Structure 1
Amino acid sequence: MTSYRDLFRTPGVFRIVISQLIARFPAGMLALAALIHIEHQHASYTAAGLVLAALAIGQAVAGPLTSRIFERFGMFRVVGVTLTISALATVSLAIPNLSVPLYTVIAFIAGVSTPPIQPAARSLYPSMVPPAQRTALFSFDASVQEVIWIIGPVMVTFLSLNVHSALGILAAAALLAAGGVWFLASPQVVRARPEAPSGKLGAVLSSHALLMVLAIGFVISAATAMLEAATVATFGEGGIQAGLILAVLCCASLVAGFAVGQRELTRWSLVRRLGLVGIGLALASVSTDFWWVLASGVIAGAGIAPVIAAITHMTSNAVAAGDVAEAFGWSTTAQFVGIAGGSALAGVLIDLFGGQMALSMGAMLTFAGVALAALVGRGQPPARNARTGRPRRVWRVARLRA
């Protein structure tokens, strides 16, 4: 863990990582909290689904748009204004007895004003640590986020089901505000002067490297969403077995992320890590035995955080410095779309064929991502010579020029 100790000796790194982690806790809380609250208010999962769809659409739109304007208005102002609006809108979702259309509008506002704290933090990382430490930093960042998905749903379930349906939403708003204010108070954020973007909105999508990263981000998010939906459908919503499987999966992801965080990425790192997720999903699809699915979930989970760490590091290298924030905004959008699409497809497959079919489709989607990562070399780290350990070629990031 020497490199992690060295990492956190760098001024500001610990504060940025932990404050943005706290501010992003609503990512693992708000959807479930809103689902419980709206269903309690209107006794309808359809109504709750409409509200969640509006929230997801707003979050997907927000990613590239808010991070794009860092250079024009400054990181501090953009994060501060969106944080204020999003926190107020989130609190408003907890108001009882509103109509479904009004809840839907409020949810969209909360989503579209989601503060771009993750793109902001990840665009700051390259300027805070030397290149040799960036792989460890991005890996730590990706791994520690699993805490959101371990603690967040448990907190919401306890507060919303055992105390009051609105408390889960209010807890998410409180964590958003607390983490966001702490993040904004960091000197690195106050002094941040992002470089001007190199082109118009969306110009970063001409990068072959970024497009591959977005595709892999979509795949890993969709596959994870399908695994979660199939697990709940197979072992019972709210059941201890489903919760245990998902908790163990997240713990495996957390441990694996820390374990590989100090390793340098190579040409085949992404293939191996994503392949592990595919193998876990494929194994889980052949049996509904609890212990079999639990073990398969450990295998799949061991690849999730390492994949996210790899694509995060690759995103930071895929575009010019002034475009990094927007690139991370698109990355966030791709992952939100993957979660929404994976959940929707899993729901259809579960209703028609059962949870095992959803797992099979998740495995097939993941192996398609493995094939993409294996065939596309642009933007990936160089392969290593097995005997000398030296790069076989220089890592180049290919970008199309207008």
Structure 2
Amino acid sequence: MRGVLGARHAVRLLGGTLIGRLPVGMASLAVLLFTREHGGSYALAGLLTASYALGQAVGQPLLGRLVDLRGQPRVIGGAALLATAAFAALAAAGPHRGAGSFALAAAAGLFTPPLEAGLRALWPAVLPDAAHVRAAYALDAATQELLFVAGPLLVTLFADGLSTAWGLVLTGLLGLAGALVVITAPPSRSWRPGPREAHWLGPLRSPGLLALFGAFLFVGVALGAMNVGALGYAARIGDRNASGVLLAAFSFGALLGGVGYGSRTWTGRPERRLRLLTAALAVCFLPPALGPGLLPAMAALTALAGLFLAPSLACAFLVVDGHAPAGTVTEAFSWLVTAFGVGAAAGSAVAGPATGRLGDGAGFLVAAAGALAALAVQLGSAPLLARSDRSGSANPVN
């Protein structure tokens, strides 16, 4: 990890990306608080949040493709400006059931700059060798958890100290500030994708990547269901703060797992490691479903599950790097982000009714089922994942 952080521009790129991606962890809560303060219903807040999420799911692969075609500064900078303008316009217009509010929320998501995918495309050009790139992917995956801890906290501080409207505006401005930090860095300005074969499917023509995206759709299901499971457990013990404790424990476990995974050298193909890590993730979601009564025990179990999330993501990044057709690496990483995000939304949608019918532990059962489904996809597509396509990065990493 020291070698990664000691590399020239690495801290700037990682820090800028984290700041620029804070809106991902802030937008849903910011929209909810803004809508409720202006008299909107929870149903309206949910629809506006869904519009934002849908826009983001559509926009990330499209913007990723534009980055592969046009480079990072123009695409990321332009998208960040448009997303900031959409947040500000929504804050000025107010939450309404008219098409305008939904369009603005969707635009804020649609133009979310693809900083996450862009950083992963940059690592091979910034770091000296494959071992450092592997460590960077692990650090990248581990630090993602900070977004979902710091993001809601910042929204709450902005809403209490200023207003919920300013919370929306500052959400957009943080995204713009982080994007500017990244795109003004020399590696971002000089990065160019590899030669690209003209094909409308882009990275989706790789069977291995399609299998990986399918698997990580279900990993997303597991994560989304786990969030509902934490809420169900809090309701069962009558402590509304317990869900925050469990989610923080999960994030802490993921942070430790990512740092630990990145601090050692691994041999063999990442596809096999990914199967083992996904299996461990599925197994670790089962004990929380049994619902031990003591909060410390439950927090320890969720932290144990979190240990395997960041290493799984880091392995997935390596698989993407090895399978993305030439000139499509940013778009490929963007599709992984989209699959994961759509899966998380689906996991929440499934776990909610399951909790109502089967009890408070059902969210964790859905999470375990999602991870097992991800493992099944990987096992069923093992021949496709074993066949590496031409990589889209300058320095393919195994």
What TM-score results when the alignment is normalised by the length of structure 2?
0.89
Map of 1:87 onto structure 2: 84
The Cα of 1:351 is off from its aligned counterpart by 3.0
Map of 2:216 onto structure 1: 217
Structure 1 residue 67 corresponds to structure 2 residue 58 = no
Cα deviation digits, residues 13-34 of structure 1 (max 9, x gap): 2211111111001111111211
Map of 2:189 onto structure 1: 190
Map of 2:393 onto structure 1: none
Contact 2:55 2:110 (C-alpha < 8 Å) held by counterparts: yes
Cα 1:107–1:379 shift into 2, 3 Å: same
Cα 1:5–1:347 shift into 2, 3 Å: same
The Cα of 1:324 is off from its aligned counterpart by 0.6
The correspondence of residues 40-119 of structure 1 with structure 2, limited to 5 A, is 40-95=37-92, 97-101=94-98, 102-119=100-117
More moved, 155-164 vs 196-205:
155-164
Contact 1:314 1:379 (C-alpha < 8 Å) held by counterparts: no
The Cα of 1:191 is off from its aligned counterpart by 1.8
The correspondence of residues 196-235 of structure 1 with structure 2, limited to 5 A, is 196-235=195-234
Contact 1:276 1:302 (C-alpha < 8 Å) held by counterparts: no
Contact 2:84 2:169 (C-alpha < 8 Å) held by counterparts: no
More moved, 327-336 vs 204-213:
204-213
Separation in 1, partners of 2:182, 2:46: 32
The correspondence of residues 2-401 of structure 1 with structure 2, limited to 5 A, is 4-95=1-92, 97-101=94-98, 102-129=100-127, 130-160=129-159, 164-236=163-235, 239-261=240-262, 262-264=264-266, 266-267=268-269, 268-287=272-291, 289=293, 290-378=295-383, 396-398=387-389
More moved, 142-151 vs 252-261:
142-151
AA aligned opposite 1:246: L
Separation in 1, partners of 2:379, 2:32: 39
Separation in 1, partners of 2:172, 2:35: 16
The Cα of 1:375 is off from its aligned counterpart by 4.5
Contact 1:256 1:302 (C-alpha < 8 Å) held by counterparts: yes
SS at match of 2:194: coil
AA aligned opposite 1:314: V
Separation in 2, partners of 1:15, 1:67: 21
What TM-score results when the alignment is normalised by the length of structure 1?
0.88
Separation in 1, partners of 2:199, 2:375: 31
Cα deviation digits, residues 300-334 of structure 1 (max 9, x gap): 11111111111012111112331111111211111
Contact 2:68 2:329 (C-alpha < 8 Å) held by counterparts: no
Separation in 1, partners of 2:266, 2:43: 47
The Cα of 1:195 is off from its aligned counterpart by 3.0
Cα deviation digits, residues 271-297 of structure 1 (max 9, x gap): 222222212221111115233421220
AA aligned opposite 1:53: A
SS at match of 2:199: coil
Gaps of 5+ in 1: 381-394
SS at match of 2:53: helix
SS at match of 2:308: helix
The Cα of 1:255 is off from its aligned counterpart by 0.8
Separation in 2, partners of 1:161, 1:339: 29
The Cα of 1:72 is off from its aligned counterpart by 3.6
Contact 1:68 1:201 (C-alpha < 8 Å) held by counterparts: no
Cα 1:158–1:10 shift into 2, 3 Å: closer
SS at match of 2:164: coil
Separation in 2, partners of 1:266, 1:356: 37
More moved, 60-69 vs 195-204:
195-204
Q: How many residues align?
A: 382
Separation in 2, partners of 1:275, 1:163: 46
Separation in 2, partners of 1:204, 1:114: 20
Cα 1:18–1:162 shift into 2, 3 Å: closer
Contact 1:30 1:168 (C-alpha < 8 Å) held by counterparts: no
AA aligned opposite 1:368: A
Separation in 2, partners of 1:112, 1:231: 29
Cα 1:202–1:348 shift into 2, 3 Å: farther
Cα deviation digits, residues 71-106 of structure 1 (max 9, x gap): 443321111111100011122233364423222111
AA aligned opposite 2:8: P
Map of 2:394 onto structure 1: none
Contact 1:274 1:370 (C-alpha < 8 Å) held by counterparts: yes
AA aligned opposite 1:174: L
AA aligned opposite 1:283: P
Q: What is the root-mean-square deviation in Å for CA atoms of aligned residues?
A: 2.2
Cα 1:233–1:325 shift into 2, 3 Å: same
Separation in 2, partners of 1:351, 1:17: 41
